[in-house]
Each structure stands twice: as structure tokens, then as C-alpha cells.
Structure 1
Amino acid sequence: MSELHQAAAAADLDQVEKLLRQKKCNPNQKDTDWGNKTPLHWAASKGDVETARLLLDHGARPCLRTELGWTPGHFAAEAGSLAVLRLLHSVHAPLDKDDASGEKPVRIAEIYGHKECVLFLRRYDVNLAEVEGWAYRKCAADKGISVDDDDEEWEGQKKDEGKGHQ
């Protein structure tokens, strides 16, 4: 676990900021000892919106997945952190991705009884993903901006695993 992972897991905003300013840590580094969690996954799992915002401001990719396919959205839903879910939504993070078991963040929030998160994610799933998400993607495409929706490494791993089952 890197220093940045440790600081994010401990919700130590000052240390996260110090490490990011020094530019010695990659905010997108996956920790293989902890299931490929990034510092943003840790911040989301703690419901730490300020650390999550700081990581995003320094280039953390909200689409990256753990080895089980969890995005930061899944962790925020598990933690019941509506603030982190709203932050992720504000940067157009994918909040509707299935994990390796086929569960979306909304289902995780349901399992843990986080009603406000469920309502937010259902509204996102029905309205925002279709209307606002589509509009954002079209605008980005028109401007030649890449929409960072997928974790290519995880998608490739998923395809490799599927080949073994044929």
C-alpha cells in the first residue's frame, strides 16, 4: 500500500494533499494487495468527500475498478455516502456499472439500507444516465474530448476470464 493509499484510507486530508503536491504518488495506482483499490476507492469507502474531491482534482479516474469490478460509486453506495455519490456524479463518473457479480451501486445501497443513496442512484439511473449523461457524452464527442467511462485493464481482464470458460 502506497503512502497515498494509506493517507486516503485514514481520511488524512492534509497528508493526501501533501503527497499530491509533491507529485511522487500516482492517484490512479492500483494496490494489488488490497484488490486493486485506488486511493479514490479508499476515500469513497470512508465517505470522505473532501479527500475524494482532492484526488479527482489531481487526476484520479472515477471509472477505475477493483478486481471485483467495484468503482468508487460502489464503495460510496456501500458507505451510504450521498455526498461522495453527488461528487462523483458532478464529474460524470459512471454510477451505473455492473460489478463482477452484476450488481450496480444502487443495488449495493439497497443491500445496506441507505435509502437516500438508493433514491439518488435510481434517479440517476433513470433520468440522468439517459438524458444528462447522453447530452454530456454528445457534447464531449463534438469537442473531441474523451469520456473516461471505462477501466480498460479491468475490461480486458474480464474478457480474458470469459475465454477460459468457453
Structure 2
Amino acid sequence: MLLDLLKLHLCEACSMTELHEAVALGDYDLVAEILRTGRCDPNHKDVDWHDRTPLHWAAAKGRSELVKLLVDHGAQHCLRSDVGWTPAHFAAESGRLGVLRTLHSLHAAMDAADLFGDTPKRLAEIYGHQDCSRFLETAEVESRSYRRTAAMKGIPLDQRDEDWEVKKEELERNPPYSRENHTSSAQKKKGKKRGKQ
């Protein structure tokens, strides 16, 4: 037990963990082994990569099978990056319809807004992923309905990232730039991509 705690502590001391790397590479067997042995926390945020968790990487890379595996081993689909992106945001940006369907089936919040007010549906629209946008139009409504039903029945949901909420409040009190000059993070990224073409 003490050895397991030490391994977990060492894993958390680094930024990008072995689990992050295995997920980014899409190595299902290695991810399964890491999770089975408990070598890394599936909810560890990589500060060098803007607080991405392994689940964010799986979503961005379009790896639905890894999304399921991670969630089965305790990965929380509510955790957010430094600007408030959930795994659904990363999937929508990359046009990963299969991952969006998987996240929705796992009752992830499909309508969460990031720090700038962008939802996964908005990102899908910005990046021209029409199939994702159409899916998210329905998924957003179903997600809100599921939350209401769960609240009425007293079912606890994995919908809130406490660490991010604290960061968000701090950023709102001390913004690094003016809101009037703000362009959403997705619009900035898309503009950069257009400039490279």
C-alpha cells in the first residue's frame, strides 16, 4: 500500500504522466496496464499542457475506446483545461463525432461553456464540423434534461471541477486582458490555422 502511494505521488510530481503519453499515442494495452496497476492518477492535470487530463487527450485524438476505459477506471469527464475545456470541447474541436457520442452516453455535460462562453457545439460550428454540431444540438438538450432528472431523483453526477471553478473565479477577478478585446480561444486558433494555409 505504501509503495502504491509513493508511485502515485511520484507520478503526480511530473507534469505529463506515463498515462498521458500512452493515451496520446493510443496504446490501449499500455493504458490498460497503467490503470490496472494504479501507477498514475487518471485525473492528473498536466500543467505544461494547459491542465489536460488523459481523458482530454483521448477525446482530442478520437479514441472512444480509451475514453470508456479511462472513465471505467475513475477518470472524471467534468475536469477542465486551464480555459475550461472539457473532453467534449476537445472532441468537438477535432470533429470526433464518435467520442462525442461516447461522452454523451456516459452522461458528460455536453453543454458546458468554457471561460469565454464557448460550448462544444460552438467549437464544432467554428471548425466546420457540421455532423458534430448537429449531434450536439440534440445532445445539449438531452444533457440538460438528464441533469434535471438526476437532481430530482437525488442521483449524484460528475459535473463540476472544483479546481477549475477556483481558477475561473480568480481570472474573473483579475483578467489577464480586457473582455472587450476578447476573441474566443477557438476563433483565435482557427484564425491561426487559416493564416498558415
Instruction: Return the TM-score normalized by structure 2.
Output: 0.77
1:159 aligns with 2:169: yes
1:9 aligns with 2:24: yes
- 2:46 is aligned to 31
Structure 1 unmatched ranges of 5 or more: none
Q: Specify the code of the residue in structure 2 equivalent to 1:4.
A: L
Structure 2 CA distance, aligned partners of 1:78 and 1:163?
28
Structure 1 CA distance, aligned partners of 2:156 and 2:81?
22
Give 1:146 deviation, angstroms. 2.2
Give 1:91 deviation, angstroms. 1.5
Q: Which has the larger radius of gyration?
A: 2
Q: Per-residue displacement from partner, 1:28-56 (whole Å, max 9, x unpaired)?
A: 00001100000000000001001111001
Q: Which residue of 33, 44, 48 corresponds with 2:63?
A: 48
The number of aligned residues is 160
Q: Specify the code of the residue in structure 2 equivalent to 1:157.
A: K
- 1:124 is aligned to 139
Structure 2 unmatched ranges of 5 or more: 1-15, 176-197
Q: Specify the code of the residue in structure 1 equivalent to 2:159.
A: D
Aligned to 2:91, what secondary structure does the other structure show? helix
- 2:152 is aligned to 138
Aligned to 1:53, what secondary structure does the other structure show? helix
Q: Specify the code of the residue in structure 1 equivalent to 2:133.
A: V
Give 1:16 deviation, angstroms. 0.4
- CA RMSD of superposed structures (Å): 1.3
1:85 aligns with 2:95: no
Structure 1 CA distance, aligned partners of 2:157 and 2:152?
10
Q: Per-residue displacement from partner, 1:145-165 (whole Å, max 9, x unpaired)?
A: 421211110011111222235
Give 1:80 deviation, angstroms. 1.1
Structure 2 CA distance, aligned partners of 1:58 and 1:152?
20
Structural mapping, 1:59-138, within 5 Å: 59-125=74-140, 127-138=141-152
Q: Per-residue displacement from partner, 1:55-82 (whole Å, max 9, x unpaired)?
A: 0100100000000110000011112111
